[in-house]
Amino acid sequence: DQQVKQNSPSLSVQEGRISILNCDYTNSMFDYFLWYKKYPAEGPTFLISISSIKDKNEDGRFTVFLNKSAKHLSLHIVPSQPGDSAVYFCAASEGNYGQNFVFGPGTRLSVLP
Amino acid sequence: EAGVTQSPTHLIKTRGQQATLRCSPISGHTSVYWYQQALGLGLQFLLWYDEGEERNRGNFPPRFSGRQFPNYSSELNVNALELEDSALYLCASSFPTGHNQPQHFGDGTRLSIL
A28/B114 Cα distance (integer angstroms): 41
Q: How far apart are CA A21 and CA A12, in angstroms?
A: 11
Instruction: Judge whether B56 and A100 are in contact, CB under 8 Å.
Output: yes
Task: Please tell me which residue, B38 or A86, carries the higher pLDDT value.
Answer: A86
Q: Do the Cβ atoms of A40 and A85 come closer than 8 Å?
A: no
Residue B97 has a pLDDT of 63
- According to DSSP, the residues that pair with B23 across neighbouring strands are B6, B74
pLDDT at A101: 85
pLDDT for position B41: 78
Q: Of B73, B65, B68, which Cα lies nearest the Cα of B19?
A: B65
Quick one: pLDDT at residue B111? 97
Paired sense of beta strands A107-112 and B19-24, if any? unpaired
Tell me the three-class secondary structure of B55-100, residue by residue. Answer: EEECCCCCCEEEEECCCCCEEEEECCCCHHHCEEEEEEEECCCCCC
Task: Compute how many other C-beta atoms are within 10 angstroms of the C-beta atom of residue A62.
Answer: 17
Residue B40: per-residue pLDDT: 75
**Does B14 have pLDDT greater than 90?**
yes
Share of residues in chain B with pLDDT > 90 (%): 76
Contacts of residue B100 in chain A, CB cutoff 8 Å?
32, 49, 51, 93, 96
**Mutation site for A-interface testing, chosen from B10, B100, B110 by largest number of A Cβ within 10 Å:** B100
Intervals of chain A under pLDDT 50: none
Does residue B1 register a pLDDT over 70? Answer: no
Instruction: Give contacts of B107 with chain A, Cβ < 8 Å.
Output: 41-43
pLDDT beyond 70 at B109: yes
Q: Helix or strand or coil: residue A32? A: strand
Where is average pLDDT lowest: A73-82, B10-19, B25-34?
A: B25-34
pLDDT value, residue A49: 93
Cβ(B89)–Cβ(B35) below 8 Å: yes
Task: Tell if the CB–CB gap between B98 and A32 is shorter than 8 Å.
Answer: no
Terminal-to-terminal C-alpha distance of chain B:
37
Give the residue from B68, B78, B63, B71 showing the smallest Cα distance to B109: B78
The average pLDDT across B58-71 equals 95
| Amino acid A98: pLDDT | 53
User: What average pLDDT score do residues B54-62 get?
Assistant: 91
